[in-house]
Amino acid sequence: MRALTKIKLTRARLLLWAKYSASSVVATVVSQLAFALCYWFGTAALVATLVAWLAGAIPNYVLNRRYTWGRSGQKLPYTLIVIGSAVTAALVTSLTDHLVRGLESHAWKTLLVTGSYFATYAVLFIVKFVLFDRLVFAKPAAASEPAPARTPVAT
């Protein structure tokens, strides 16, 4: 019986991971398009990062809340995690933008800076999953542990 419970737990975790991944793909596509378009049309890397973050954060929160975890999470930890991600991406893209200024090709600059934006979120993907799972959308301890079996009392 214990092995069966472990299999169900593993399947549940895999399903959660798959849902999180699908939600992240949607948010990443929206965010990447926003960043690439903003940067291509001359927006500063920092501003492009903030626009892209906002464009991706909205569908990401809605999908994670409703589809992935199926419940409302704690808003303060969520906010701190996504703002921390945005700050990290802003630092990385600004640094990359500074490093590629000498390139003549605008297409290459756009590709490299957009790639650094993507790479930042690729690295943060697993970190954010763990933090969302353990902090933001964690089930209360009482709900996650089954109630102990009780023996009926004879009267």
* pLDDT mean across residues, the chain: 85
CA distance 4 to 6: 5
8 A C-beta contact, residue 78 and residue 61: yes
With a cut of 60, say whether residue 4 has pLDDT above it.
no
pTM: 0.75
State percent of the chain over pLDDT 70. Answer: 85
Residue 90 — left, alpha, or beta (φ > 0 → left; ψ -120 to 50 → alpha)? alpha
**Higher-scoring residue by pLDDT: 71, 94:** 94
Q: Where are the domains of the chain?
A: 2-138
CA 50, chain centre distance (Å): 15
CA distance 57 to 89: 13
pLDDT per residue as tens digits for the range 44-75: 999 999 999 999 989 988 888 888 878 777 88
